[in-house]
Structure 1
Amino acid sequence: MTIEAVIWDLGGVFTSSPFEAFNRFEAQRGLPRDLIRTVNTTNPDSNAWALFERGEIDGAGFDRKFLEETTALGHPVRGAEVLPLLSGEVRPRMVEALTICKQRFKVGCITNNMVHGHGPAMATNPESASRGGGIMQHFDAIIESSKVGVRKPDPRIYLMMCEQLRVEAKACVYLDDLGINCKAAAQLGMVAIKVISERQALADLEGATGLTFPKSQSRS
């Protein structure tokens, strides 16, 4: 089927990966590498991260529950210490690719995010959208986990986007930096692109859409 829509994740796609910030934090604190990722992938439907991204607990609740989970692993870290790490640097070439895609396709954003805090992983409002370089204004539809109570990789959130854009899943390209989220999209029939680097993602997107994006000397 002809591609009709390009659907994007936000953090780790339009911004630098929070995993890099997690690792720097862990190194600075003398914590095991990938401790935060381990916490976030343990009991993935009921841990602090999942509950916060579905809007089922508030910031204080996340702070407490994340501390409980890291303490159980022998390395106490408060949730409030982790949230600032989610503010990545905007990737201008990805934003440019979005604007080019919008000239030919419908464009949407599905993001697992949180209600309380700042940065690209937080629920949008006019002020935060402005801080994010105006990325959100380009989308035809935006679905935020903290607002709809469903998070990736639950298939329902992808189908919500298809309904909003009025397209079939098999007519969509989907970009995300997490393999588990890409797998769920692919199982619905979407062309899934796992974002490992900016250069790789744009090359794969060119192949999927037939578009051409401006080149850069960046090695990312």
Structure 2
Amino acid sequence: MSTSTAPSSASSDADSLNHDENPIKAVIFDYGEVMWMQSRNVHVYRKIEEDNKLFDNSLIPTLVSKELSSILPKGFQEDLLTGIYTAKDFDRLFLSAYNRKFGSQVESLKFFSATEYDNDAVYEEAVLTACQKLRERGVKTILMLDTYHVDEKRNGRRIPNMEKYFDHVIESCKEGVKKPDPRFYQIALDCVDVQPEEVIYIDDSKINCESAAVLGIRYIQVFNSMDMLEDLQEILGFDLD
């Protein structure tokens, strides 16, 4: 199997689950590497580079560069994802790092704040279909995002079309907490009024999964979507395709 599940009280062993006494009422999904895979969305980065007349294959190297890390304020990522900074704030710093790294003189750049490219994103269709099937069965679906405010209006990220698949979209920047803070998971539980044992949490991060398990939430750690969906179907006892 390519998925991992929580032990003991957070176990996802289908044989131990009594659907009458302890039904699953909600499934919480992470976004990155669950709904959206970076490897399948390289074309979006390429389009931003092309539209801004940047060097080919230059955005991702800048993201992990010493030029960027050296100018980000201490704790910037945490503060970005909990709503203190915005994507526009990040883009200003990123532009400075980009020009320093490549010796360029780019005057303006929308990267994290470039929501106009959101409709070009490619999602895991099998996972989206599963979300629709869950909702048809009366199981609440929640998208739990570590994300940022796009601009000074501070309206969050607002990824388009997610309302087709999720009953609730919870954004860290609006709540002021991010994963793996247990308070973020509790917000998700409260929004659908369920107990931890009535929920399955799905994420590719071991740390995030373990934080959910501390609250008594079953989890499936994702290594690929096919195995994750097989495990989810086994727990639920019905097909999702």
TM-score by length of 2: 0.64
Q: Which runs of 4+ in 1 moved over 6 A?
A: none
Q: Percent sequence identity over matched residues? A: 25
Secondary structure of 2:210's aligned partner: helix
- Rounded to whole Å, the distance in 1 between the matches of 2:39 and 2:174 is 21
Deviation at 1:99, TM superposition (A): 0.9
> Are residues 1:112 and 2:140 paired?
no
Deviation at 1:100, TM superposition (A): 0.9
Secondary structure of 2:157's aligned partner: coil
> Are residues 1:196 and 2:223 paired?
yes
Deviation at 1:30, TM superposition (A): 11
Q: Which amino acid aligns with 2:165?
A: H
What does residue range 26-37 of structure 1 map to in structure 2 within 5 Å? 28-29=57-58, 35=64
Q: RCO (CA 8 Å, sep 6+): is it higher in 1 or 2?
A: 2
- Rounded to whole Å, the distance in 2 between the matches of 1:20 and 1:48 is 25
Shift in alpha-carbon separation, 1:18–1:62, aligned structure 2, 3 A: farther
Say which of 4, 10, 16 aligns to 2:37: 16
Shift in alpha-carbon separation, 1:56–1:100, aligned structure 2, 3 A: same
Contact 1:191/1:208 (8 A) holds in 2: no
Shift in alpha-carbon separation, 1:60–1:181, aligned structure 2, 3 A: same
Computed over aligned residues only, the root mean square deviation of the Cα atoms, in angstroms, reads 3.7
> What is the aligned partner in structure 1 of residue 84 from structure 2?
56
Contact 1:7/1:175 (8 A) holds in 2: yes
Deviation at 1:174, TM superposition (A): 0.7
Residues 118-142 of structure 1, C-alpha deviations (whole Å, 9 max, x = no match)? xxxx611xxx42xxxx233332222
Deviation at 1:170, TM superposition (A): 1.8
User: Where does the alignment leave 5 or more consecutive residues of structure 1 unmatched?
Assistant: 41-45, 215-220
Contact 2:88/2:113 (8 A) holds in 1: no
**Structure with the greater alpha carbon radius of gyration:** 2
Deviation at 1:177, TM superposition (A): 2.2
Q: Which amino acid aligns with 1:115?
A: H
- Rounded to whole Å, the distance in 2 between the matches of 1:166 and 1:210 is 22
Number of residue-to-residue matches in the alignment:
193
Say which of 160, 181, 184 aligns to 1:157: 184
